[in-house]
């Protein structure tokens, strides 16, 4: 996992990345199985495509959800 996490976005070939728009997960699966299925399909959870856009993701060890982080960010931009 460290190898795929530390790739350089400048050297990644877009056509080698999975397109998240094409990922389909059975919502009836248990959470752990959905996570496994997502990783299996996306192949690299740190770099993937959304259409023609390359997305780089960083994960942090926190209890905050992405929704919490986005809300904090939006709130900070409004004030």
State pLDDT tens for residues 5-32: 666 666 778 888 999 999 999 999 999 9
pLDDT at 50: 92
In three-state secondary structure terms, 56 is strand
CA 25 vs CA 13, 51, 58, 67: distances in Å? 25, 18, 22, 20
In terms of DSSP bridges, do strands 53-56 and 47-50 run parallel, antiparallel, or are they unpaired?
A: antiparallel
**How does residue 79 score in pLDDT terms, banded at 50, 70 and 90?**
low
Average pLDDT, the chain: 85
Q: Which pLDDT does position 2 carry in this prediction?
A: 53
Range 31-56 average pLDDT = 91
pTM, two decimal places = 0.64
Smallest CA-to-CA distance from 48 within 78, 4, 79 is with 4
Mean pLDDT of 45-56: 89
């Amino acid at each position: 996992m460290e190898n795929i996490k530390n790739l350089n976005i400048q050297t990644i070939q877009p056509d080698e990345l999975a397109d998240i728009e094409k990922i389909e997960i059975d919502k009836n699966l248990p959470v752990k199985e959905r996570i496994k299925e997502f990783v299996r399909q996306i192949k690299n959870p740190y770099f993937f495509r959304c259409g023609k856009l390359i997305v780089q993701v960083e994960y942090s060890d926190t209890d905050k959800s992405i929704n919490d982080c986005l809300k904090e960010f939006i709130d900070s931009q409004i004030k």
